[in-house]
Chains A and B, each alone.
Chain A
């Protein structure tokens, strides 16, 4: 297991380098730069030239990249050109927000997706299966922003049950914090839950067809026990894979959800920074996300070996 982890970390390094080059290059393809965007309504050519020079924007792109990588290797992610706040501070501020949202959405997705997937596989071809499938399809096809706005209008504006936006740290007020993120977590979790349901269902169907299930049933074991203990446990492998992949989607979905519910997290930070061409922030945040994704994949590999004893031959 240790060797696997070390190997994975080593493989992660070129991935991160590639990601950093990609994000650096892609940003430069966008017209405009942070200084022009920042100048906004008051365009003073002298100030623009001065700031360009100050932020090394007048140098060649490879030079700028080298400067940035050099700083990152020294642990300096730079400062937001727009607000003069260090990128590290921004990440420390926003990461917990998005993590909490993602975690809550994941719980929602698991609560919806896994039971629905198991039931619809076990009751394959029955009305329950069809209904679950219809819900899954709707969950996947309804746009996040639309679902979000509808939920705000119904739950927050009409019924006044939950807050419509914002974020309260759990350290300040745990209950209010959960309440504030409930709607966004539901929106984000619903589409993930739908995908999870589809994957759980097909994994379960595959497993339930296998010989040992038939044997277990033939031995007279109760159907629920067969499904959970023999069926679901063996279907977990593919489900865990999907879950780690979904983590990426979770972050992508957070971008939209955070916009609709005005949650000051990673997603909102990234979108606003792209629009303001705040290069340092975009680079820092994407780099951080990529690293997180790699860690998630590593975790998945470790989980496999825990779930499947056959992989534990070190």
Chain B
């Protein structure tokens, strides 16, 4: 018996040892190549996927969108809502060995707020100054209460870089030094970003994977083929057209979750010379919304992973307005609306969209559906940079735009529909919406805040500056060798508890 126990223990030890040795490299296929590696200058969604393992944030989110401690162990907001005090972990080191403390937080937030080319300035605009209370306590003094601040600190603005590296901007962009579970090894543009496990991480036991390789492969067919051949272990943004074949593949697993973002059609109602046409009448915008069969789009193009949308906020958000139903397709009503607006012979409108497979399919399907109500859509496909340019200059009539979404409702609304919003490409402007959304920013009480969003969403449904079509899903395909993957609504890949079998 004793001998048997002994043998079993040796076997167990050996299994464990090989298991650990095999839990080595995870190779992830990304849809886009990264731009900068500086969290404060980052503008692309795909960069956030890499940051999720490289740069820890002060606060994290749970899969059901609650805030949870990360580098900050707890936080309190003062009664007037104008001071946010964070208590920090005391056992955190940066990848270069520097200690993480309140001074480091201040240095990072100050850089994010003041670096001229920082893209975090708008998110941190409510911060007046940052106070170091003691070595592990930091206080954010706000100009006004900011309900989105926790969400802000759970994203790129809350990512902490080693203070000694902050002065060298080019260094941060090419070789970021953070405090996450994995540290930066190398980046070959258009080819790969390699991270390896950081031995000094405070929670290193929760990260069995030794090395992570991110490989940008824009073509979804090629990305999937690489997963099937074993060159990758998981991919993000599986094409809906591949969903069925992935589900039938015994070696793969489709893990999909509804995201925080949406796909919508933005009308140019008041931005530049192109903003003249029948769509300036809200009845025309509502008519187009009514002819779009969102269920059919979900089934035909989305393979069932494009849940229909009729508002900017996703159902997972506590601020989602349940009373706003997704409109059922109604061609007669759409025709009636056009007639009432004085366009009984129909209207013409040009739609600008990205010339990728999915957006092209969407544009064509919407065009066909709209034609039944005499809304004649002319298609104008452009590449991404050209579309952004057209959006910024107001050089479009109707534009299909996707937004990756933010945890806080403010991130899906304020910039897009307030008069001076940085991404309000259509120039829609309603002071009532502005004041509601401005006020919602400052309300930290969920109920009071929801009332404001409900009111704003009602106005937006009535005005339809954007026809929301579906919520962006995050469809990952994972090899059966990979275990422990949990999808989050923000679409990021968190490597905690994940492992790869050899």
Contact = CB atoms under 8 A, between A and B. Distances in A.
Interface of A: 30-33, 36-47, 50-51, 80, 82-85, 90, 93, 149, 152-153, 156-157, 160, 163-167, 259-262, 264, 268-269, 272, 275-277
B383 A275 contact: yes
Contact of B222 (A80, A82, A152): A152
Interface stretch (B145-153, B186-194, B452-460, B480-488): B186-194
Contacts of A165: 215, 217, 222, 226, 231
Given A44-B121, A157-B229, A264-B190, A37 B221 contact: no
Given A32-B388, A41-B404, A149-B225, 19 more contacts: A30-B385, A33-B385, A36-B392, A37-B389, A39-B119, A40-B44, A43-B388, A47-B118, A82-B35, A83-B34, A84-B170, A152-B229, A156-B229, A163-B229, A164-B229, A165-B226, A262-B191, A268-B190, A275-B385
Nearest to B388: A36
Contacts of A45: 422
A93 B388 contact: no
Given A32-B388, A83-B173, A93-B188, A153 B231 contact: no
Contacts of B188: 93, 264
Contact of B119 (A47, A80, A262, A275): A47
B122 A32 contact: no
B135 to A, nearest CB: 33
Contacts of B423: 43
B191 A44 contact: no
Nearest to A159: B229
Contact of B385 (A32, A43, A50, A80): A32
A38 B43 contact: yes
B422 A31 contact: no
A41 B382 CA distance: 17
Nearest to B115: A47
A92 B396 CA distance: 40
Nearest to A262: B217
Interface residues of B, number: 49
27 contacts: A30-B386, A31-B389, A32-B388, A36-B389, A36-B392, A37-B389, A39-B388, A40-B43, A41-B404, A42-B43, A43-B388, A47-B119, A47-B121, A50-B116, A50-B117, A80-B189, A83-B35, A84-B36, A93-B188, A152-B222, A152-B229, A157-B229, A160-B230, A166-B215, A262-B191, A272-B33, A275-B385
Given A83-B35, A149-B222, A157-B225, A43 B231 contact: no
Contacts of A38: 35, 43
A252 B193 CA distance: 27
Contact of B45 (A41, A43, A264): A41
Given A47-B118, A262-B226, A37 B217 contact: no
A83 B36 contact: yes
A264 B215 CA distance: 10
A166 B231 contact: yes
A42 B218 CA distance: 21
A44 B225 contact: no
A90 B33 CA distance: 15
B299 interface: no
A152 B225 contact: yes
B231 A269 contact: no
A42 B119 contact: yes
Closest 10 CB pairs of A and B: A264-B191, A32-B389, A37-B385, A32-B385, A40-B43, A156-B229, A164-B229, A31-B386, A42-B43, A157-B228
Contacts of A41: 43-45, 403-404
A206 to B, nearest CB: 43
A83 B225 contact: no
B174 interface: yes
Most chain A C-beta atoms within 10 Å of own C-beta, residue among B229, B395, B403 = B229
Contacts of B118: 47
Contacts of A160: 229-230
A298 B44 CA distance: 44
A8 to B, nearest CB: 34
Interface string B370-410: 00000000000011111011101001000000011000000
A164 B173 CA distance: 30
Interface of B: 33-36, 42-45, 116-119, 121-122, 170, 173-174, 188-192, 215-219, 221-222, 225-226, 228-231, 382-386, 388-390, 392, 395, 403-404, 422-423
Most chain B C-beta atoms within 10 Å of own C-beta, residue among A33, A153, A166 = A166
Contacts of B42: 42
Contacts, number: 136
Contacts of A269: 189-190
Nearest to A263: B191
B386 A264 contact: no
A275 B33 CA distance: 11
Contacts of A46: 121
Contacts of A32: 385-386, 388-389
A312 B439 CA distance: 86
A84 B35 CA distance: 9
B271 to A, nearest CB: 13
A260 B190 CA distance: 13
Contact of B174 (A37, A40, A83, A261): A83
Contacts of B191: 166-167, 262, 264
Contact of B389 (A33, A50, A167, A264): A33
A143 to B, nearest CB: 14
B176 to A, nearest CB: 12
Given A38-B35, A38-B43, A277-B385, A44 B119 contact: yes
A44 B422 contact: yes
B119 to A, nearest CB: 5
A102 B389 CA distance: 36
B225 A82 contact: no
A48 B228 CA distance: 41
Contact of A43 (B35, B44, B392): B392
A260 B219 CA distance: 8
Contacts of A276: 35, 385
Contacts of B386: 30-32
B214 to A, nearest CB: 12
Nearest to A89: B189
Contact of A83 (B119, B189, B221, B389): B189
Nearest to B391: A43
Nearest to B395: A31
Contacts of B225: 149, 152-153, 156-157, 164
Most chain B C-beta atoms within 10 Å of own C-beta, residue among A149, A160, A260, A262 = A262
Nearest to B42: A42
A45 B393 CA distance: 12
A262 B215 contact: yes
Given A40-B43, A269-B189, A276-B385, A47 B117 contact: yes
A37 B189 contact: no
A188 B392 CA distance: 40
A39 B391 CA distance: 12
A140 B33 CA distance: 31
Most chain B C-beta atoms within 10 Å of own C-beta, residue among A30, A44, A276 = A44
A36 B35 CA distance: 13
A268 B189 CA distance: 10
A83 to B, nearest CB: 6
